[in-house]
Amino acid sequence: MSYISLKNVSYQYPYSKQFALQDINLELKKGKFYGVIGQNGGGKTTLCNTIRGLIPHFYKGELSGEVLIDGTDVRNWNTGELSAKIGYVFQNPFTQISGIKETVFEEIAMGLENLGIEKNKIIESVISVSELLSISDLLEKNPNQLSGGQRQRVAFAAIIAMDAEMLVIDEPTSQLDPQGTEDVFAIIDKLKTSGKTIILVEHKVSLIARYCDQVIVMSDGKIALNGLAKAVLSDPRLEEFGATPPEVVHFGYAMQKAKKPLTEIPITVEEAVSLVEKRGKQS
Amino acid sequence: MDTLIQHYSDLYNHDQKSGNWFGDFNPLSKLNILLVIGLCGFFIQDWRFSLGVCILEYLFAALNGKFKYFNSIFLRLIFIIGVFIILIRELSYKVENPTIMFNLLGWKWTWEAFYEGLRLGTVILSFSGAIILFYAFTTMRDLMYSLEQKGVSHATSYVMLASFQTIIDLRASVVTIMESQKARGIETQGNPLVRLKAFFPIITPLLLGALSSSEEKFVAMDARAFAVERKHTFLRQLRKVPAYEKLAVVAIDAAFAALVLYKLVRLFVH
Amino acid sequence: MKKGFDNKLVLFLIPIGVAINFIGGQIAILLRLPLYLDAIGTIVVGALCGGIPGAIVGLVSNVLNSITSPITLWYGVLNVIFGLSAAWLSSRKFFLTFIKSMITVPWFAFVGGGIGAVMTWCLYGFDFGSGTSSLIAIPLDNIIHFPFLSQFIAEFGIDVFDKVLTLIAVYLVLKAMPTNLLAKLPLGHIYIKDVEE
């Protein structure tokens, strides 16, 4: 059974005639890592808000169709319990810091305090998650005085510490340098290995290609493409839908055009290298 | 990692210490005691009593290492409330056959007006001093925590604590917005009308930006299980109120009740 | 406090309202304007979210103000009235046009200055207070020989200027509020102009 299931889902924000989501049919399986790409305004964040249950509980508007979260209709979920079940990290690191805690340690612990987790368990979780995100040296700092990148890590740590079954992550690396971004992807991958279901909105397609099991392309509020990362990212129509394929995909097509086709279109650099080597051996 | 765990279990499994005997009182006890002290002056209405309270407040702050904090606020109040009230009374307070203190270029100062000002000034100052002492020895965080323990919702704590941080954040934005509006040619200096007009292009974007950010704040706090209806854990822990502290509060409240009762009876019997 | 807020966003607007009350005064100082401008947050939140949230903004602002000037605690009641009346006026569409917004100025100045004068009168033993208003009130009293009325007129007069600026700011902000945010606030529907395409 799917963990998240959307059937014929359409949604309009209040006072808007446009559909932010239109006829969405989507099944998300437990323990998989889904990447969402597509142009801005294509409905990526709205999709996240729907899966997280903020639509229809917080964003009113018109929701039609059926949204099932772990088998229960989203309308029947208690919003508080839903927040414990599905973690949510988004782009802006400044609004994600609570502003009511004086140390990073207490900031990360806040969600666990709200969940009523036992004190010593909280201490262990906060420390292990801060080591995972390499922010142990920030624990005593005031979270309201950190840089954007540091805040992004703290906000991410605070959500991971809550140990939800599923994570919805909307552009978590906007404030991070390339190394920081790589780290975050590696951490998300690790979370997937520990059984979490993950849905990630991200512009950095080369990393999506490397880590995600499946990729969903959103365009004009509709799902334009949905399938295995390999199939979606090498789809020639990708750019039509406003998404950029990884660089190596261009390389793959260029090879085809030059009448030196690889056996398949690569989506990661590693793959391209091995395909080229294979081709070299064959000829 | 183990040393970190050790460090934080030591920190959070023990009572929070402020390093001062009065600071370690429960915030609500402190509030109770100091409010009573501050309000006494309104009932007694005698400058000797209120002035005494002011001096004791000063001494208490000094003896407990809060002189600098207390003095920085109280000294200002002595001028803008104390001295000012006496000046005003010398202008407005009229009695028949006044006793002249001195004559300042035709402005006759009277003892009657002086004592009238002194009485009122010290009453208000002794009340103010008590409130200043309360904040000197209590963090808002501990105050809200003790209220939560009494059953006040954590939404209330959020409002109080977030207000502080929002003020700090918006203060920083004011400077940014003011600079950028100056760069766009809005005059912020010159005659009063020009400065008056500059107020709107600063306050409007600031307010709109802040109001819009509330939406993301909601989503962020919701993600941190703000709306979960479960019993919360409190990482920090406050000292269990000891018997002598309870006793002190009860004694002070009883004395205050007696004072109020006495004044009420006097009001009718007189 | 939580129970009253079935609308979830309101809680998060309250600290912003409080901060705006403080910042208004700060901008006034930066621009060297001799005004307080410390009720904008209370009135905006009252107008958008209703009387109780508005009153809470006022009350919290006063509690925080009392840290550095304890005597303001007594004037908290004024801010509560600001919040409550902002909601009442808002639901009767007073803040929709500039003219109507200006019509509310005397009311807010009456509360801030007039009822403020009553507070001052009680607090200062039925005599003049210690603010700048008494510097106008006392000379006035020498002419009309009615101390309370003098204090009342002085405080009201000063407050009219303050509230004109305050209500212009309130009007401008309410007019410029984005629809998606208004849609989530209890009284927001009043300010939604038309459905976007």
pLDDT digits (tens, 9 = 90+) for A110-151: 999 999 999 999 999 999 999 999 999 999 999 999 999 999
Q: What is the pLDDT of residue B167?
A: 96
Q: Work out the average pLDDT over A90-95.
A: 92
Query: Do B245 and B132 have their domain in common?
Result: yes
Query: Do B89 and B35 have their domain in common?
Result: yes
Query: Do A27 and A125 have their domain in common?
Result: yes
Domain of C183 in residue numbering reads as 7-191
Nearest to A19 by CA among A66, A63, A74: A63
Residues in chain C with CB shorter than 8 Å from the CB of A16 are 195-196
pLDDT at C53 over 80: yes
Which chains have 3+ CB pairs within 8 A of A? B, C
Nearest-CA residue of chain C relative to A61? Answer: C183
Domain of A261 in residue numbering reads as 246-283
Residues in chain C with CB shorter than 8 Å from the CB of B160 are 60, 63
Which residue of C3, C11, C64, C134 is the best one to mutate when testing the B interface, meaning the one whose CB has the most B CBs within 10 A? C11
CB contact under 8 A, B226 and A105: no
CB contact under 8 A, A17 and C192: no
Q: E strands of chain A, at which residues?
A: 4-12, 21-28, 33-38, 62-69, 72-73, 86-89, 166-170, 197-201, 214-219, 222-228
Query: Do B176 and B121 have their domain in common?
Result: no
CA distance B266 to C57: 40
Query: Do B155 and B134 have their domain in common?
Result: no
Query: Do A271 and A218 have their domain in common?
Result: no
Domain of B158 in residue numbering reads as 151-223
pLDDT at C193 over 70: yes
| CATH for C61 | 1.10.1760
Query: Do A116 and A133 have their domain in common?
Result: yes
In a domain, C81, yes or no: yes
CB contact under 8 A, B233 and A116: yes
CB contact under 8 A, A58 and B218: yes
Q: What is the pLDDT of residue C174?
A: 97
User: What residues of chain C, 151 to 190, have a C-beta less than 8 Å from chain A?
Assistant: 179-180, 183-184
In a domain, C1, yes or no: no
CB contact under 8 A, C192 and A13: no
Mean of the per-residue pLDDT values for chain A? 93
Query: Do B130 and B185 have their domain in common?
Result: no
What letters, b where the CB count within 10 A reaches 16 and e where it falls short, cover B66-103? bbeebeebbeebbeebbebbbbbbbbbbeeeeeeeeee
Query: Do A184 and A254 have their domain in common?
Result: no
Comparing A162 with C7, which gets the higher pLDDT? A162
What letters, b where the CB count within 10 A reaches 16 and e where it falls short, cover C99-120? eebeebbebbbbbbbbbbbebb
Nearest to A47 by CA among A79, A81, A22: A22
Comparing C126 with A154, which gets the higher pLDDT? A154
Per-residue pLDDT of chain B (270 residues), as tens digits, is: 788 999 999 999 999 888 899 999 999 999 999 999 999 999 999 999 999 999 999 999 999 999 999 999 999 999 988 888 888 888 878 788 888 888 888 888 899 999 989 999 999 999 999 999 999 999 999 999 999 989 899 999 999 999 999 999 999 999 999 999 889 988 888 888 899 999 999 999 999 999 999 999 999 999 999 999 889 999 999 999 999 999 999 999 999 999 999 999 988 886
Query: Do B72 and B189 have their domain in common?
Result: no
Q: What is the pLDDT of residue A195?
A: 92
Residues in chain B with CB shorter than 8 Å from the CB of A119 are 12-13, 233, 235
Most confident listed range (A115-129, A258-272, B3-17, C155-169): A115-129
User: What residues of chain C, 71 to 100, have a C-beta less than 8 Å from chain A?
Assistant: none
In this predicted model, what pLDDT tens digit does every residue of A221-231 receive, in sequence order?
A: 999 999 999 99
Q: What is the pLDDT of residue B67?
A: 96
Mean of the per-residue pLDDT values for chain C? 88
User: What residues of chain A, 188 to 207, have a C-beta less than 8 Å from chain B?
Assistant: none
Residues in chain C with CB shorter than 8 Å from the CB of B172 are none
B1 touches chain A (CB under 8 A): yes
In a domain, B6, yes or no: no
In a domain, C196, yes or no: no
Question: Which of A133-137, A146-150, A273-277, C150-154 comes out lowest in average pLDDT?
Answer: C150-154
Query: Do B160 and B33 have their domain in common?
Result: no
| CATH for A149 | 3.40.50.300
> Given the DSSP bridges, would you call strands A197-201 and A33-38 parallel, antiparallel or unpaired?
parallel
In a domain, B101, yes or no: yes
SS3 letters for chain C?
CHHHCCCCCHHHHHHHHHHHHHHHHHHHHHCCCCCCCCCHHHHHHHHHHCHHHHHHHHHHHHHHHCCCCHHHHHHHHHHHHHHHHHHHHHHCCCCCCHHHHHHCHHHHHHHHHHHHHHHHHHHCCCCCCCCCHHHHHHHHHHHHCCHHHHHHHHHHHHHHHHHHHHHHHHHHHHHHCCHHHHCCCCCHHHHCCCCEC
Residues in chain A with CB shorter than 8 Å from the CB of B10 are none
In a domain, B69, yes or no: yes
In a domain, B2, yes or no: no
A140 touches chain B (CB under 8 A): no
Q: By the 8 A CB rule, do A103 and A130 touch? A: no
Query: Do B23 and B121 have their domain in common?
Result: yes
Distances (CA, A) of A161 to A3, A156, A264: 21, 9, 40
CB contact under 8 A, A99 and B230: no
User: What residues of chain C, 108 to 147, have a C-beta less than 8 Å from chain A?
Assistant: none
CB contact under 8 A, C195 and A15: yes
In a domain, B257, yes or no: yes
CB contact under 8 A, B202 and C27: yes
pLDDT at A183 over 80: yes
CA distance C154 to C126: 16
CB contact under 8 A, B89 and C127: yes
Q: What is the pLDDT of residue B185?
A: 87
Give the pLDDT band (50/70/90) at residue C74.
confident
In a domain, B11, yes or no: no
Q: By the 8 A CB rule, do A189 and A140 touch? A: no
ipTM of the complex: 0.92
Angle A42-A48-A52 from CA coordinates, rounded to 5°: 155
Q: By the 8 A CB rule, do C78 and C108 touch? A: no
Query: Do B83 and B200 have their domain in common?
Result: no
Query: Do A253 and A218 have their domain in common?
Result: no
Query: Do B50 and B171 have their domain in common?
Result: no
In a domain, C197, yes or no: no
Q: What is the pLDDT of residue C131?
A: 67
Express as a percent the part of chain C with pLDDT over 70.
91
In this predicted model, what pLDDT tens digit does every residue of A27-85 receive, in sequence order?
A: 999 999 999 999 988 999 999 999 999 999 999 899 999 999 999 999 999 999 999 99
> Given the DSSP bridges, would you call strands A62-69 and A72-73 parallel, antiparallel or unpaired?
antiparallel
Q: Work out the average pLDDT over A163-168.
A: 96
What is the H or E stretch that residue A1 is in?
none
Q: By the 8 A CB rule, do C109 and C36 touch? A: no
Which chains have 3+ CB pairs within 8 A of B? A, C
Q: What is the pLDDT of residue C3?
A: 40
Residues in chain C with CB shorter than 8 Å from the CB of B222 are 8
Name C46's bridge partners.
none
pLDDT at C115 over 60: yes
Residues in chain B with CB shorter than 8 Å from the CB of C134 are 88, 92
How many structural domains comprise chain B?
A: 2
CA distance A56 to A59: 5
Q: What secondary structure does DSSP assign to chain B, as a single string?
A: -HHHHHHHHHHHSSB---SSTTTTS-HHHHHHHHHHHHHHHHHH--HHHHHHHHHHHHHHHHHTT-HHHHHHHHHHHIIIIIIHHHHHHHHH---SSPPEEEEETTEEEEHHHHHHHHHHHHHHHHHHHHHHHHHHH--HHHHHHHHHHTT--HHHHHHHHHHHHHHHHHHHHHHHHHHHHHHTT---SSSHHHHHHHHHHHHHHHHHHHHHHHHHHHHHHHHTTTT--SPPP-SSBPPPPPHHHHHHHHHHHHHHHHHHHHHHHHHHH-
C127 touches chain B (CB under 8 A): yes
Query: Do A272 and A225 have their domain in common?
Result: no
Chain B to chain C Cβ contacts (< 8 Å): 178
Query: Do B84 and B160 have their domain in common?
Result: no
Nearest-CA residue of chain B relative to C66? Answer: B131
How many structural domains comprise chain A?
A: 2
Name A214's bridge partners.
A34, A228
CB contact under 8 A, B80 and C177: no
How many structural domains comprise chain C?
A: 1
CB contact under 8 A, B221 and A79: no
Q: What is the pLDDT of residue C47?
A: 98
C70 touches chain B (CB under 8 A): yes
Which residue of C13, C21, C23 is the best one to mutate when testing the B interface, meaning the one whose CB has the most B CBs within 10 A? C23
Most confident listed range (B182-196, C80-94, C141-155): C80-94
Q: What secondary structure does DSSP assign to B176-238, as a single string?
A: HHHHHHHHTT---SSSHHHHHHHHHHHHHHHHHHHHHHHHHHHHHHHHTTTT--SPPP-SSBP
pLDDT at C197 over 50: no
Query: Do B130 and B257 have their domain in common?
Result: yes
CB contact under 8 A, B207 and C69: no
Q: What is the pLDDT of residue C2?
A: 41
Query: Do A34 and A136 have their domain in common?
Result: yes
Residues in chain C with CB shorter than 8 Å from the CB of B171 are 23, 26
Residues in chain C with CB shorter than 8 Å from the CB of A59 are 184
Residues in chain A with CB shorter than 8 Å from the CB of B228 are 80-81, 83-84, 114-116
Of the candidates B216, B226, B235, which has its C-beta nearest A106's C-beta?
B235
CA distance B169 to C192: 29
CA distance A154 to B231: 25
Residues in chain C with CB shorter than 8 Å from the CB of B163 are 14-15, 18-19, 60, 64
Query: Do A154 and A283 have their domain in common?
Result: no
Query: Do A187 and A276 have their domain in common?
Result: no
Query: Do A216 and A276 have their domain in common?
Result: no
User: What residues of chain A, 64 to 103, have a C-beta less than 8 Å from chain C?
Assistant: 99
Residues in chain B with CB shorter than 8 Å from the CB of A87 are 223
In a domain, B78, yes or no: yes
